[in-house]
Amino acid sequence: MARKALIVALSVIATASPAFATNRDTTPTTTAPAGTPETKYCMHIEAITGSRLEKTKCWTREEWAEQGVDVDLDWAKEGVRTIG
């Protein structure tokens, strides 16, 4: 019986430990860096069906907007680098 109580106590300690805590906040922490209208923002895009290779495209903010992408919203997750 003491063994069962010890297992329960250790389980409670382990689940309450900060080491096991996860960050549930999924909001982006950063936005895309500022740039000129000519600055290209390189971001990961979805792979073509049947391919496992990840693709990266570099377009201006205007070109991303034409594709329906808000650079500031997606930068934290998909952003790679800027050019120019």
Position 24 confidence tier, pLDDT thresholds 50, 70, 90: very low
Q: Higher pLDDT residue, 63 or 54? A: 63
SS3 12: helix
Please state the domain count of the chain: 1
Residue 61 has pLDDT above 70, yes or no: yes
Position 1 confidence tier, pLDDT thresholds 50, 70, 90: low
Q: Determine the structural domain holding residue 74 and report its residue range.
A: 2-83
Q: pTM for the whole thing? A: 0.59
Please tell me the distance from the alpha carbon of residue 47 to that of residue 29, in angstroms, as a whole number.
25
Give Dmax over CA atoms of the chain in angstroms. 71
